[in-house]
Chains A and B, each alone.
Chain A
Amino acid sequence: MWPDERVVGFVNENFVPARVHVRDDAKAFKEYGERYKAPWTPTILLLDPDGVEHHRIEGFLPTDDLLAQLMLGRARIAFDAGQWAEAERRFREIVDRLPNTDAAAEALYWAGVAPYKATGDPASLKATGQAFKQRYKDTPWAKKASVWA
């Protein structure tokens, strides 16, 4: 939820925030909703500094899950920019701080990919595949990582 101080702190530290309101700013909602293909609320888009979308959060989420999704999106922006070390740190932070959220399994997956992208050494993929045998076993991300173990 927006009033949560962890969410507020993370957003203010990591993003320039903008809001379009479906009723109070209907014209802007229509314009930007069409531009970004976002007809539903709540929808949160995380864009890089050039305005390109990297992550989308649709529908209500409890606070921890919302924070984890925001962190995931910020990590994804770093990953897509080829900032492998920063991306890995950000993905691992989700797993460490918010391990019981849905985003954590996805973060664990990408935390294994980032060092591989940096070095070409598949050891991090194998370790991630092994890690999924211990946790998040029933998630799609465990299936995706199973080929590495």
Chain B
Amino acid sequence: MAINFRHDVDAVLKDAKTQRKPVLLDFSAAPL
């Protein structure tokens, strides 16, 4: 089980607006 992070932030913001769902934006230095 994992979080399906997406990397196109503008696309995520657009989708969130359409879905009326909040956004989690993670600024990370964690190993990929």
- A-B CB contacts (within 8 Å), total count: 126
CB contacts under 8 Å to A, within B1-32, are 1-9, 12-13, 15-17, 19-30, 32
A16 near B9: Cβ-Cβ < 8 Å: no
B4 near A12: Cβ-Cβ < 8 Å: yes
B3 near A12: Cβ-Cβ < 8 Å: yes
Within the complex, what minimum Cβ distance (angstroms) separates A109 from chain B? Answer: 21
B5 near A17: Cβ-Cβ < 8 Å: yes
User: How many A residues are at the interface, by size bracket?
Assistant: 35 or more
- A72 / chain B contacts, CB cutoff of 8 Å: none
Cα A117 to Cα B27 with chains together (Å): 34
A22 near B20: Cβ-Cβ < 8 Å: no
Cα A16 to Cα B24 with chains together (Å): 6
- B29 / chain A contacts, CB cutoff of 8 Å: 21-23, 41-42
Cα A16 to Cα B8 with chains together (Å): 12
A17 near B3: Cβ-Cβ < 8 Å: yes
**What 4 pairs between A and B have smallest CB-CB spacing?**
A19-B5, A15-B24, A18-B12, A41-B29
